[in-house]
Structure 1
Amino acid sequence: MTEQTWNAFTVERKDRVAQVTLIGPGKGNAQGPDFWRELPLIFAELDADPEVRAVVLAGSGKHFSFGLDLAAMAPMMAPVLGDKAQAAPRTAFHDDIKKMQRSINAVADCRKPVVAAIQGWCIGGAVDLVTAADIRYASADAKFSIREVKVAIVADMGTLARLPAIIGDGHMRELALTGKDIDAARAEKIGLVNDVFADADAVLAAAHATAAEIAANPPLVVHGIKDVLDHSRSAGVDDSLRYVAAWNAAFLASEDIGEAMAAVFQKRTPDFKGR
């Protein structure tokens, strides 16, 4: 496979394990246009590479990812945020949501098992990303938040579809409806992560150790295990993703989302009116 240079990631391969690392370019590895464009291309290549048998997904720097880069993605959202948005911009926005969902789906659908190594903040769209992984490890300083509710958005990239099977319905509803932050210890307690390690180096080493164990097993059997495990829930995930894409295309526009965006950029608490 020809190595490529990516804007939002680095990809390294060694001993049948690939490491995909988020590198920005936004602050805190925020998910901007390059992230959404490159992610499915990278995982399609890794899925097709016979020399890769497992993938480690990591973040560079102090944090895994701050989630959606609101400033960079604003041009995509702007046409439907006005009070006169008609069918054409809403249809285009619906198409954009589906395209972004396919980016996260590429991680979940990869036949090579994916082990996420999470340090620091894992917010919003970053939770979407790690719920698409097969196994999640965290450093002791990791913090998680399904933050979309705080910016007047229904999470639409997979968290609401995949996380109930990981942590259960009650924990899922608590996190999604409050937008609260939880630390690594709570994340481990509710099953969001498999294990917690001392620091970023330790969690990355653990992820590679598990990936190496997987890579040593018969690859066709590993693919089969993933396929069987995913089969029973794939229809539900697909249905949920289709529904939330339609919901947000229809109902995302509100005074509250405008207030949320303004509050983010002005660094203040938003005042939501339910309009």
Structure 2
Amino acid sequence: MGEPYESVTIEHKDHVAQVTLIGPGKGNALGPAFWSEMPEVFAKLDADRDVRAIVLTGSGSNFSYGLDVPAMGGTLAPVLAPNESARPRAEFHLEVLRMQEAINAVADCRTPTIASVHGWCIGGGVDLISAVDIRYASADAKFSVREVKLAMVADMGSLARLPLILSDGHLRELALTGKNIDAERAEKIGLVNDVFADADAALAGAHATAAEIAANPPLTVRGVKDVLDQQRISAVSASLRYVAAWNAAFLPSKDLSEGVAATFAKRAPKFTGD
């Protein structure tokens, strides 16, 4: 695959590639390297004719804690600082669109993708698994569309892709509350296909399904995925563009500053609606 990456490792075996999140933030948090590297990683996998299925998982005890807020402080700075100029919001808008490409690269990959989730899968982690074809979880997995608790509207794909995965009521409950759900609940509402006893079993299950896919004729598999994907492309693209513009306009707020400050201080935030 060329030079090593900071945010993932890649292994190949029998027409299946495994992409493992490695951070470097705690809990495989998604920092600058992730958002820069994922388009290249998945473009190369997409172009590799020897790779017929991709398994996506996390290293250590968790899949991903989501956005690495400390490491991404520079990205949020333009909307945290009081400024009457439009330029910071315009630049933030472009940055959101750029970061969306990291998740789009997974969703648009012509090779089938399977996520194996264990431990926490929060915020950006849910954005990521919403972009794959099939999701498995270990019994200890926990999921949260957490952005609302940080005074943010999720803008990396969850609100665009989860409507095609979950029923409307279940999605709104997750996105409006920011609540945590366990693997059993995730399976019940259709967020994951199956739940396994532990992380090793979930990863083995993902590889077993990947092997089944890889044994099928590759051009036909890509055709099936392409036809299925056509049903979502326009809706997802429009939603991503809309939320990028919405956040550029309205994300700067006292509540956002309070949410970030509370996160760093590890205390409960006090939101005022300002």
Q: TM-score range by the shorter chain?
A: over 0.9
The separation in 2 between residues aligned to 1:122 and 1:20, in whole angstroms, is 16
Q: 1:124-163, aligned counterparts within 5 Å? A: 124-163=123-162
The separation in 2 between residues aligned to 1:194 and 1:257, in whole angstroms, is 34
Q: 1:174-213, aligned counterparts within 5 Å? A: 174-213=173-212
Alignment-derived partner of residue 101 in structure 1: 100
Overall identity of the aligned pairs, in %: 67
* RMSD between superposed Cα atoms in Å: 0.7
Q: TM-score, normalised by structure 2?
A: 0.99
Q: Secondary structure at the match of 2:252?
A: coil
Deviation sequence 1:62-91 (CA, Å, 0-9, x none): 000000000000111111222324221111
- 1:164 deviation in Å? 1.2
Task: Say if 1:79 and 1:85, in contact at 8 Å, map to a contact too.
Answer: no
Alignment-derived partner of residue 29 in structure 1: 28
Where structure 2 has 5 or more consecutive residues not aligned to the other structure, the ranges are none
- Whichever residue aligns with residue 130 of structure 1, its letter is I
Alignment-derived partner of residue 233 in structure 1: 232
Alignment-derived partner of residue 42 in structure 1: 41
Deviation sequence 1:187-227 (CA, Å, 0-9, x none): 00000000000001000000000001000101111111111
- 1:168 deviation in Å? 1.2
- 1:28 deviation in Å? 0.1
Alignment-derived partner of residue 88 in structure 2: 89
The separation in 1 between residues aligned to 2:78 and 2:170, in whole angstroms, is 34
Alignment-derived partner of residue 7 in structure 1: 6
- 1:4 deviation in Å? 2.4
Alignment-derived partner of residue 213 in structure 2: 214
Alignment-derived partner of residue 60 in structure 2: 61
The separation in 1 between residues aligned to 2:207 and 2:157, in whole angstroms, is 25
The separation in 1 between residues aligned to 2:145 and 2:127, in whole angstroms, is 9
Q: Does 1:164 align with 2:167?
A: no
The separation in 1 between residues aligned to 2:144 and 2:159, in whole angstroms, is 13
Task: Say if 1:144 and 1:182, in contact at 8 Å, map to a contact too.
Answer: yes
- 1:51 deviation in Å? 0.4
The separation in 2 between residues aligned to 1:59 and 1:224, in whole angstroms, is 29
- 1:234 deviation in Å? 0.8
Q: TM-score, normalised by structure 1?
A: 0.98
Tell me whether 73-82 or 45-54 shows the greater mean CA deviation. Answer: 73-82
Tell me whether 139-148 or 165-174 shows the greater mean CA deviation. Answer: 165-174
- 1:177 deviation in Å? 0.1
Aligned residues: 274
Task: Say if 1:37 and 1:103, in contact at 8 Å, map to a contact too.
Answer: yes
The separation in 1 between residues aligned to 2:84 and 2:46, in whole angstroms, is 39
- Whichever residue aligns with residue 224 of structure 1, its letter is G
- Whichever residue aligns with residue 123 of structure 1, its letter is I
- 1:240 deviation in Å? 0.2
- Whichever residue aligns with residue 104 of structure 1, its letter is I
- Whichever residue aligns with residue 269 of structure 1, its letter is A
Where structure 1 has 5 or more consecutive residues not aligned to the other structure, the ranges are none
- 1:232 deviation in Å? 1.3
The separation in 2 between residues aligned to 1:4 and 1:223, in whole angstroms, is 27
Alignment-derived partner of residue 249 in structure 1: 248
The separation in 1 between residues aligned to 2:200 and 2:234, in whole angstroms, is 37
- Whichever residue aligns with residue 95 of structure 1, its letter is L
